[in-house]
Amino acid sequence: MNYQVDEKGYYGRFGGAYIPEILHKCVEDLQRSYLRVLESESFREEYRTLLRDYAGRPSPLYFARRLSERYGCRIYLKREDLNHTGAHKINNTIGQILIARRMGKTRIIAETGAGQHGVATATVCALMNMPCVVYMGQTDVERQQANVRKMEMLGATVVPVTSGNMTLKDATNEAIRDWCCHPADTFYIIGSTVGPHPYPDMVARLQSVISEEIRVQLQEKEGRDYPDYLMACVGGGSNAAGTVYHYLDDERVKIVLAEAGGEGLLSGRSAATIQLGREGIIHGARTLVMQTEDGQIEEPYSISAGLDYPGIGPLHANLAQTGRAKVLAVNDDEALRGAFELTRLEGIIPALESAHVLGALPRMEFRPSDVVVLTVSGRGDKDMDTYLACMDRPEIAGNL
Ligand SMILES: Cc1ncc(COP(=O)(O)O)c(C=O)c1O
């Protein structure tokens, strides 16, 4: 089966470009240019150099001995948390700003949830000397203060958004509104594998450096270039897309994705789009969407600002619907336990988003010979207040 995008921008039933008239020209320009730019020698050279010398790639593939002992298999962590700015998001923003420059754009906008994409965008704008506006829901501004301060120091304007439940969906709405007002000079750097075609494919390709490196690193460490399992958390889906990209057609490799269950699937406070969503259109793409009976988008909830989104990348909707990926909804408490477990067993404090895939481990049944690669998408610095609030909850921080 083909899991890649087709020439019309669809992954099976999902994807496409459902956009207002005013954006047609700039989205079509991007559709026409992105592959040509991505495949050009000058882009590849500049992108590779910045990934290596600026972002610090390749990120290590670390054999987690104590975590492996706990789960009875061989677990490797793909350490995206060690990238410059602390997450995988920089892989994408470096690529997109290079595309923006080649298309003659002079102003950058972005949305952000956890602030990691906002920081990564503000960072490359400082590097390239381009003005940058980042839209961020007021709820997220409050819970991710450290990242707001970083964006401001980097010279970006952070615009708090107060519509809806003031999180990622609302920030994205506002960024699209801005884009509609400035289609000619502005490039919208989307932070995940969401949005109208070609964004999901463009972001997946830019993040695919993750699986490209996994191949080489596994060959060195295990003598074979594929794992039995690939595991990643999924908000919009970019770190997961990067993790699985070169293995999509390799049926030896099982794909397990962790989405945010919030307080539970039936609690009314969840962001588990793949389990709870129905087909619909959000932010320019046909995908699974959390919506009411009459099609209004439901407010998602997750303890993690980066997974708190009522849609999902069309690539992942298709992987879930075709059965290629198994998707688990991991609740807040399971994620918090996963974060403390990694911290105490391996000395690595993960981002709350990444904590969701760690929280999926107790539900897995591995064989001792299984090789598991789990992507730690980001570091936990921005989440310290949430973690510290759990220190006196033994059911989360204890029993290790
Ligand atoms: C560290 C980290 N991991 C994961 C995510 C989720 O995004 P995606 O599904 O695009 O990887 C975010 C989003 O902000 C993040 O900051």
Calculate the dihedral angle through the C-alpha atoms of 339, 341, 342, 346, rounding to the nearest 10 degrees. Answer: 150
Q: Dump pLDDT digits (tens) for 88-100.
A: 999 999 999 999 9
Q: Decide if 5 is inside a domain.
A: no
Same domain for 81 and 92: no
Residue 230, SS3 per DSSP: strand
Same domain for 72 and 171: no
Q: Decide if 10 is inside a domain.
A: no
Q: Decide if 3 is inside a domain.
A: no
Which domain range does residue 310 map to? 59-86+208-397
Cβ within 8 Å of residue 337, ≥6 positions away: 359, 395, 396
Q: Dump pLDDT digits (tens) for 108-117.
A: 999 999 999 9
Mean pLDDT (whole number) for 41-54? 98
Q: Dump pLDDT digits (tens) for 303-318.
A: 999 999 999 999 999 9
**Separation of CA 234 and ligand 1 centre (Å):** 7
Residues with catalytic function: 89, 111, 377
pLDDT mean across residues, the chain: 97
Residues with CB under 6 Å of ligand 1 are 87, 113-114, 116-117, 192, 233-240, 306-307, 351, 353-354, 377-378
Atom of ligand 1 nearest to the CA of 234: 9
268 burial (CB, 10 Å; 0-12 / 13-18 / 19+) is exposed
pLDDT given at position 1: 82
Mutation to probe ligand 1, out of 239, 245, 273 (largest number of atoms < 8 A from CB): 239
Domain boundary among 183, 202, 221: 202
The number of distinct structural domains making up the chain is: 2
Provide the CATH number for the domain around residue 119.
3.40.50.1100
- Strand duo 371-376 + 74-79: pairing: parallel
Q: Dump pLDDT digits (tens) for 210-268.
A: 999 999 999 999 999 999 999 999 999 999 999 999 999 999 999 999 999 999 999 99
Domain boundary among 202, 236, 260: 202
Atom of ligand 1 nearest to the CA of 203: 10
In sequence order, which ranges of the chain are alpha helices (DSSP H)? 24-39, 41-50, 65-71, 89-102, 116-128, 138-143, 145-153, 168-181, 199-207, 209-222, 238-244, 273-276, 314-321, 332-346, 352-358, 384-388, 394-397
Q: Decide if 162 is inside a domain.
A: yes
Q: Dump pLDDT digits (tens) for 169-201.
A: 999 999 999 999 999 999 999 999 999 999 999
Same domain for 216 and 147: no
Mean pLDDT (whole number) for 274-287? 98
Report residue 38's pLDDT band, with 50, 70 and 90 as the boundaries.
very high
Q: Decide if 150 is inside a domain.
A: yes
